[in-house]
């Protein structure tokens, strides 16, 4: 199972000088992710746009609705 880790977020934040904490947008498409967990809330406090197409997400993890909103279409 692929997970969202700080290392993955740093790898995908090259446009932000690999600074995860101030990311406002991140693309995690085609990463074979199966869930979304608290790593995003903990490490990306300013995240506004999260692109997740072509993953295998079946459920949303422990995300607080006020802080984190995700709309996805599963195919």
Q: Where are the domains of the chain?
A: 6-60
pLDDT at 30: 92
CA distance linking residue 24 with residue 40, whole number of Å: 11
Condensed to tens digits (0 to 9), the pLDDT of residues 6-16 reads 999 999 998 88
pTM given for the model: 0.72
pLDDT at 21: 92
Least Cα distance to 27 among 48, 50, 4 occurs for: 50
């Amino acid at each position: 199972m692929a997970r969202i880790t700080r290392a993955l977020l740093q790898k995908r934040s090259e446009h932000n000088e690999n600074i995860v904490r101030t990311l406002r947008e991140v693309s995690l498409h085609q990463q074979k992710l199966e869930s979304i967990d608290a790593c995003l809330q903990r490490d990306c406090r300013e995240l506004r746009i999260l692109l997740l197409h072509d993953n295998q997400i079946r459920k949303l993890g422990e995300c607080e609705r006020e802080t984190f909103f995700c709309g996805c279409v599963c195919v």
